[in-house]
């Protein structure tokens, strides 16, 4: 790390939290909906509301709308273009024009006829919107990363539990057969004693530069205040709304490490049977972060310079995006989004049957099915709030180790860093007062 880079990091950290005091957003709700205490019967459809209808939401809805027992009845989005696009897709699916749209998602949360919400906004809104939804009595499917800070993840998990809501994080690979099989091999002992796990991520980005200011559109066209939400204020630029927010510290999660880490680190957590804990040490290196669990298992978070292209030598490129590798004393297994599973020996490869592989590793149909089933049963989902909490916090801790360029040690139960005031200072950040 050069002197200029270190200076840049120090200057960045001094200005990263520029927002005002946190807003009590729960006070903006008109009260709990009747759905808060309603138990959906097996014969009833689950009424779904959508908050944020961009490209990712379209993908998730493609795996959700075909389920016979769910019906999307309302869409909230701050951009009229997204509202119109979402309504057109939903109405076409049902062959009618019944789907309602609104600019302010609080109107959607106030409706008594909505049982659950799909939250597919940008990262800055995931936790705040999920918490408001839970307090309004809705079950929540939130796209990942579910919290932009460690405190966000803590507050979200605590709220879901206290409100007795069903929660599913959008880490859908927990519901995809090839990833499930790789984890099963780690759990079964067929790899021997688990020693090292590899999780692929983008190379992190630390940026808080502003795009040039543009004339702000009308509130009905794009509600810029509501788009920003709890994030720090900056002048309007259409590119942000179109997706240029990615990589920005104010809007993205953990220097973008959570884009893939929320999936890949999460799968390693699962493989190590560590859903109730996390690594205790995070050591940044030039090309990744080396982590260690209390049980001695190592987690290597690999930075990929070309995550959507050649992933050699870390991973087998043909296995697809979001690759993971589990290494035991007797062998290893690797898989990715293309569905193929590669093992270190013919004996292990015989464990891989056709029903445990799938070409579409990004498929969300099984994950949304799990969410809907748990709405009825009130059981914990595959990627419930407790699973999300530990895996997301592990990712945030890794990102902070990279930002500070030093080893961090965390207490996995207290979820605070040991003897490091700087790192603990970034567990939270002030939220902008947006609801005025």
The answer to whether residues 334 and 415 belong to one domain is yes
Are 309 and 201 in the same domain? yes
248-259: pLDDT as tens digits: 999 999 999 999
pLDDT value, residue 359: 56
Assess whether 146 and 91 both reside in one domain: yes
| CA-based nearest residue to 319, from 307, 327, 331 | 307
- Summarize pLDDT for 131-186 with one digit per residue, the tens: 999 999 999 999 999 999 999 999 999 999 999 999 999 999 999 999 999 999 99
User: Could you tell me if 125 and 183 lie in one domain?
Assistant: no
Q: Is residue 34 part of a domain?
A: no
Domain containing 129 equals 46-172
Tell me, yes or no, whether 161 and 263 share the same domain: no
Same domain, 265 and 329: yes
53 and 126 in a single domain? The answer is: yes
Does 353 fall in a domain?
yes
> For the whole prediction, is pTM greater than 0.85?
yes
- Which CATH number characterizes residue 154's domain? 3.40.50.720
In a domain, 181, yes or no: yes
Structural domain includes residue 229: no
Burial letters 62-85, b for 16+ CB under 10 A, else e: ebbbebeebbbbbbbbbbbebbeb
> For residue 436, what pLDDT is reported?
72
In this prediction, residues 10-36 reach a mean pLDDT of: 38
pLDDT of residue 362: 73
Q: Are residues 100 and 186 in the same domain?
A: no
- Residue 403 in any domain: the answer is yes
Are 310 and 344 found together in one domain? Answer: yes
Same domain for 178 and 167, yes or no, is: no
Q: How far is residue 252's CA from residue 229's CA, in Å, rounded to a whole number?
A: 13
- Are 183 and 166 members of one domain? no
Mean pLDDT, residues 188-215: 97
**Separation of alpha carbons 406 and 421, rounded Å:** 13
Per-residue pLDDT of 104-116, as tens digits, reads 999 999 999 999 9
Quick one: 74 and 158 in the same domain?
yes
- Mapped onto helix, strand or coil, the DSSP state of residue 351 is coil
Q: For the chain, how many structural domains are there in total? A: 2
Question: Could you tell me what percent of the chain has a pLDDT over 70?
Answer: 89
Residue 44 has pLDDT above 90, yes or no: no
DSSP H or E segment with residue 341 = strand 341-343
235 within some domain: no
Mean pLDDT of the chain: 91
22 vs 392, more confident: 392
SS3 55: helix
Q: What is the pLDDT of residue 26?
A: 38
């Amino acid at each position: 790390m050069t002197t200029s880079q270190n200076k840049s990091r120090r200057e960045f950290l001094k200005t990263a939290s520029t927002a005002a005091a946190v807003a009590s957003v729960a006070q903006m709700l008109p009260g709990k909906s009747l759905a808060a205490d309603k138990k959906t019967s097996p014969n009833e459809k689950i009424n779904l509301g959508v908050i944020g209808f961009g490209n990712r939401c379209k993908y998730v809805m493609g795996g959700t709308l075909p389920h016979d027992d769910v019906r999307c009845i309302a869409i909230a989005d701050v951009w009229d273009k997204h509202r119109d696009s979402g309504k057109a897709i939903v109405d076409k699916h049902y062959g009618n024009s019944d789907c309602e749209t609104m600019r302010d998602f609080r109107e959607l949360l106030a409706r008594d006829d909505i049982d659950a919400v799909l939250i597919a906004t940008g990262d800055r809104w995931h936790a705040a919107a999920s918490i408001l939804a839970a307090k309004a009595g809705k079950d929540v499917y939130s796209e990942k990363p579910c919290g932009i800070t460690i405190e966000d993840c803590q507050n979200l998990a605590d709220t879901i539990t206290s409100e007795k809501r069903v929660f599913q994080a959008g880490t859908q690979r927990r519901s995809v057969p090839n990833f499930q099989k790789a984890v099963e091999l780690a759990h079964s002992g067929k790899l021997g004693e688990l020693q090292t796990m590899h999780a692929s991520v983008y190379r992190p980005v630390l940026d808080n530069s502003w795009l040039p200011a543009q004339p702000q559109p009308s509130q009905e066209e794009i509600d810029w205040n509501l788009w920003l939400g709890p994030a720090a204020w900056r002048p309007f630029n259409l590119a942000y709304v179109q997706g240029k927010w990615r990589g920005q510290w104010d809007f993205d999660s953990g220097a973008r490490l959570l884009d893939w880490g929320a999936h890949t680190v999460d799968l390693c957590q699962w493989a190590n049977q560590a859903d109730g804990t996390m690594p205790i040490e995070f050591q940044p290196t030039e090309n990744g972060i080396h982590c260690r669990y209390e049980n001695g298992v190592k987690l290597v978070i690999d930075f990929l310079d070309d995550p959507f292209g050649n992933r050699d030598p870390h991973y087998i490129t043909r296995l697809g995006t979001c690759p993971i590798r589990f290494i035991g004393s007797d062998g290893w297994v690797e898989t990715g989004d293309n569905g193929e599973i590669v093992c270190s020996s013919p004996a292990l490869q015989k464990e891989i049957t056709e029903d445990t592989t799938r070409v579409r590793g990004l498929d969300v149909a099984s994950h949304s099915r799990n969410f809907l089933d748990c709405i009825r049963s009130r059981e914990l989902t595959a990627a419930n709030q407790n699973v999300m909490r530990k895996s997301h916090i592990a990712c945030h801790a890794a990102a902070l180790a990279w930002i500070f360029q030093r080893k961090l040690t965390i207490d996995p139960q207290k979820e605070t860093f040991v003897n490091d005031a700087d790192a603990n200072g970034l567990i939270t950040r002030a939220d902008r007062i947006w609801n005025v």
